[in-house]
C-alpha cells in the first residue's frame, strides 16, 4: 500500500509571542523577547523570578465559564489552540466522517497547578482527605485529548503522548503516521503546558536547568552564547490540523505545508543530560531524513531544540556538523526558544508551526540575545544571529529533545 500524503491545513496558537498566527510570526521574525517577571505567584524567594508568560486573553469564546472551572490551565490552553486550529482550517465539522477524525494531544506535565493546589490545601488542612472530585480529571495529562474529542465529536484515535520536552513533536509524528497508513483522515495534534507554578519553577531550579539571570531577564534565553545559564520557562499551546492530502483537496482546504518525515531516537545515556557527542541527536535527524526519503543537501533550515543549556547546545550543533558534513555550513539554524522560552511538552508543536511559517514566508527567524561566542560551538555555522534572514526554504527540520533521552525530528516541505 502506498503511503498517503499528509498536509497541514490549520494552525491554532496561544503563546508568549501572541494569540494569533500573525502575532506569533511577526514577533518571531522581529526578534521579540517575551520574558517578563513572574506574575502567577510571588517568586521573591525563588532563584528564577521570570518566565515567558501568555498575555491575557478572553477564554469565554472557547470554553464556558462553568466548564473552565473544571479544567486545569494546561487544558484551557489546549481548548483554545485546538478551537483556533479548527476555525483556521475552515473545515465543516458536520460534513466530516468523524469516525475517521482523531486527536493526539501532548503535555509533558499535565495539570501541575491543580496537583499543587490540591496537595497544598490538604497539607494545610486538618488532615482529613477532602479533595475535589475534579482533582484527578483536571490533573492527568491525557484529559486534554479527551476534551478536544468531545468538543468536536471526533471518534477516531484519541490519546496523549508524554515524552517530556519532545511530547508534542511525538504527537505530530504519530498523527502523521496514522494518516499516512490510511487509519485517519484528519487529526488535531499538538500540545499544551502550564508550568509557571511554584512546584515547576522550584523543581527546575533545583536541577540547575533554568536561567537565573534575573537582572537581564529579557536576554536571559541566549542559545549558543558562552554565558548561557539555562532555559527560560514558557507556557501555552500550539495545535496543527494534519489532514490526508486528497481529503484536503476535495474540500478545497488551504494548505500550509506538507509533512514528509518523522524521526525518533533515544540517547540511552543519562536522566537529564544529552549525549555529549550528540549521538541521539544525530540519529534522530538521520532517521527523519531516511523517513522523508531525502538527503542532507535537501534541507535549508533547522529549527533546533536550542534551549540555551550549557551541554545541550554543544551536543546538538556537534550532531548537525557530524551528519550534514560540508552542507552544515550552508544551512540556516536558529533557536526560537530565545524568544518564546521553553514550552516543555508544547515546545515542539510551536516550533513546528514557526518552521512552517518560515517555509511559507521565505524568512528564517533569528536566534536573539547572542553576544559572546562559545569556543565549543562551531562558529562557522550560520546560527541566524540577532536578525532574520531571507531565504527560499523548500524543506525545514524541527528538533525536540526531552529529559530521559527522548528525541524527535520532523520534516516539513513547501507546498
Q: Write out pLDDT tens, residues 335-350.
A: 999 999 999 999 999 9
From the candidates 165, 189, 288, 409, give the one annotated as an active-site residue.
Answer: 165
- What's residue 390's pLDDT? 98
Q: How far is CA 234 from the centre of its chain?
A: 10
- What's residue 189's pLDDT? 98
From the candidates 19, 247, 275, 305, give the one annotated as an active-site residue.
Answer: 305
Helices (H), 341-404: 347-361
> What nine digits make up the cell of 365?
527567524
- What's residue 101's pLDDT? 98
Q: What is the Cα–Cα distance from 213 to 220, expressed in whole angstroms? A: 6
- Residue 342 annotated as catalytic: yes
Q: What is the Cα–Cα distance from 319 to 383, expressed in whole angstroms? A: 14
- The closest alpha carbon to 159, from 80, 110, 105, belongs to 105
CA-CA distances (angstroms) from residue 172 to 108, 176, 324?
14, 6, 24
Task: Tell me if the domain spanning 6-250 has CATH number 1.25.10.10.
Answer: no
Q: Which residues of the chain are modeled with pLDDT < 50?
A: none
Same fold yes or no, 6-250 and 260-413: yes
Q: How far is CA 237 from the centre of its chain?
A: 8
From the candidates 19, 247, 275, 342, give the one annotated as an active-site residue.
Answer: 342
Give the residue extent of every domain in the chain: 6-250, 260-413
- What's residue 126's pLDDT? 86
Q: What is the Cα–Cα distance from 50 to 47, expressed in whole angstroms? A: 9
Residue whose cell numbers read 538521520: 286
Q: What is the Cα–Cα distance from 34 to 18, expressed in whole angstroms? A: 9
Angle of helix 21-29 versus helix 347-361 axis, rounded to 10: 80
According to DSSP, residue 108 is labeled: S
Report yes or no: 39 and 53 within 8 Å, Cβ to Cβ.
yes
Beta strands in 87-176 (DSSP E): 101-106, 158-161
- Residue 275 annotated as catalytic: no
Q: Is 325 left (phi over 0), alpha (psi -120 to 50) or beta?
A: left
What is the second-level CATH architecture of the domain 260-413?
A: 3-Layer(aba) Sandwich (3.40)
Q: What is the Cα–Cα distance from 264 to 400, expressed in whole angstroms? A: 10
> What nine digits make up the cell of 303?
529549527
Pairing of strands 186-193, 158-161: unpaired
Amino acid at each position: 500500500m502506498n503511503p498517503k500524503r499528509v498536509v497541514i491545513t490549520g494552525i491554532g496558537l496561544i503563546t508568549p509571542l501572541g494569540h494569533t498566527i500573525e502575532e506569533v510570526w511577526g514577533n518571531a521574525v522581529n526578534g521579540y523577547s517575551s520574558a517578563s517577571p513572574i506574575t502567577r505567584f510571588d517568586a521573591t524567594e525563588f532563584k528564577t523570578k521570570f518566565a515567558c508568560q501568555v498575555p491575557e486573553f478572553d477564554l469565554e469564546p472557547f470554553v464556558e465559564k462553568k466548564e473552565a472551572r473544571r479544567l486545569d490551565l494546561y487544558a484551557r490552553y489546549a481548548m483554545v489552540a485546538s478551537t483556533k486550529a479548527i476555525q483556521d482550517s475552515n473545515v465543516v465539522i458536520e460534513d466530516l466522517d468523524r469516525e475517521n477524525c482523531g486527536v493526539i494531544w501532548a503535555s509533558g506535565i499535565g495539570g501541575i497547578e491543580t496537583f499543587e493546589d490540591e496537595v497544598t490545601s490538604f497539607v494545610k488542612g486538618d488532615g482529613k482527605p477532602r479533595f475535589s472530585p475534579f482533582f484527578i480529571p483536571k490533573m492527568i495529562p491525557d484529559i486534554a485529548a479527551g476534551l478536544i474529542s468531545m468538543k468536536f465529536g471526533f471518534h477516531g484515535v484519541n490519546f496523549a503522548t508524554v515524552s517530556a520536552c519532545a511530547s508534542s513533536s511525538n504527537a505530530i509524528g504519530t498523527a502523521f503516521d496514522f494518516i499516512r497508513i490510511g487509519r485517519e483522515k484528519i487529526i488535531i495534534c499538538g500540545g499544551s503546558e502550564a508550568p509557571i507554578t511554584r512546584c515547576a519553577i522550584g523543581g527546575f531550579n533545583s536541577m540547575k536547568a533554568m536561567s537565573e539571570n534575573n537582572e537581564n531577564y529579557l536576554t536571559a534565553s541566549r542559545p549558543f552564547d558562552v554565558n548561557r545559564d539555562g532555559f527560560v520557562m514558557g507556557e501555552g499551546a500550539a495545535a496543527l490540523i494534519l489532514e490526508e492530502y486528497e481529503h484536503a483537496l476535495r474540500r478545497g482546504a488551504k494548505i500550509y505545508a506538507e509533512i514528509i518525515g518523522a524521526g525518533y531516537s533515544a540517547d540511552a545515556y543519562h536522566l537529564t543530560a544529552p549525549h555529549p557527542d550528540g549521538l541521539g541527536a544525530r540519529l534522530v535527524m538521520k532517521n527523519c531524513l531516511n523517513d522523508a526519503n531525502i538527503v542532507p543537501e535537501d534541507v535549508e533550515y533547522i529549527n533546533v531544540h536550542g534551549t540555551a543549556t550549557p551541554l545541550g547546545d554543544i551536543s546538538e550543533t556537534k550532531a548537525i556538523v557530524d551528519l550534514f558534513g560540508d552542507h552544515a555550513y550552508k544551512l540556516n539554524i536558529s533557536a526560537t526558544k530565545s524568544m518564546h522560552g521553553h514550552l516543555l511538552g508544547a515546545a515542539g508543536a510551536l516550533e513546528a508551526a514557526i518552521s512552517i511559517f518560515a517555509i511559507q514566508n521565505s524568512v528564517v527567524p533569528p536566534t536573539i540575545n547572542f553576544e559572546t561566542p562559545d569556543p565549543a560551538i562551531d562558529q562557522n555555522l550560520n546560527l541566524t544571529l540577532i536578525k532574520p534572514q531571507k531565504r527560499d526554504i523548500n524543506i525545514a527540520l524541527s528538533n525536540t529533545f526531552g529529559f530521559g533521552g527522548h528525541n524527535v525530528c520532523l520534516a516539513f516541505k513547501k507546498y
